Amino acid sequence: LAIVGGGVIGIEFASFFSAIGVEVSVVEMLPEILPFMDAELVSIFRRNLRGIKIETGARVEAIEGATLRYTKGDEARSVEADLILVATGRKPNMAGIGLEEAGVASTKRGITVDDCLRTSSGGVWAAGDVTGRALLAHTASAMGEAVVEGIRGKPRSIAWQALPWVVYGDPECAGCGMTEAEAEKAGIETRKSVVPARANGRFLAENGVTGQGGVKLLAEAASGRILGLTLVSPYAGEMIWGAQGLIARGATADELKEAIFPHPTVSELIREAALEL
């Protein structure tokens, strides 16, 4: 199997097919897979992708039958595969639904909405992937609930700075809030801690000394306010929900240190990261 695109969908399919014994190649145009993810944790995640050949910085030129042709730098390369999966993203399907007639503004990314999901046309809201703001099922549900509240006359904004995501690979990786690169771009001075998953007793017992994983916690330097959390570990998708509430409410690393985590759980890594700040 050859996969064009190293985003969430491409990596999830790569992980699944590799796990059942299929030889997988991933060709990604950008310098790294999962470009939205924290760079330090991506490198840890990649070490788990055994049996998957990844080519980054590679531009696909043609698909000819079972041959995927691409260039890397000035070098022409190719992959022979039984099947080729194109997973290069999605775009909104807005044609012919009457947006212009209703006075609803939109861009190539989707229908334009404010933080309460109101469009440019009074009495019209939009929710879900079509807004282009977060293409995830759980965020679509949250948007739908906010729209209902708005229709009832109680506008409710989404905590856009704290939308959790999960990549269902092997292992999972998950995150919420800002990455270090995003904070730097925003001019925010930060403190960070990175704790290897092997420092956790349960992770070590279940995955051994060769198990790869970790947690990264990012906080504002001056206030200690938690800005972002990224996890690479089994159960990452089950643990990341707590970060949403912490970030949305402006909680600090000191407050997280006071939390009591059950033992033995992999989630204890999150508190360890707070203690390391």
Give the tokens for residue 123.
């009495």
DSSP code for 207: H
| 3-class DSSP assignment, residue 40 | helix
**SS3 labels along 47-103:** CCCCCEEEECCEEEEEEECCEEEEEECCEEEEEECCCEEECCCCCCCCCCCCHHHHC
How many contiguous H segments (helices) and E segments (strands) does the chain have? 10, 14
Active site residue 138: no
Bridge partner list, 192:
218
Residue 117 one-letter amino acid: L
Which residue is catalytic, options 263, 267, 272, 274? 263
- Report d(CA 26, CA 264) in Å as an integer: 36
- Report d(CA 216, CA 128) in Å as an integer: 29
Q: Which residues are catalytic?
A: 263
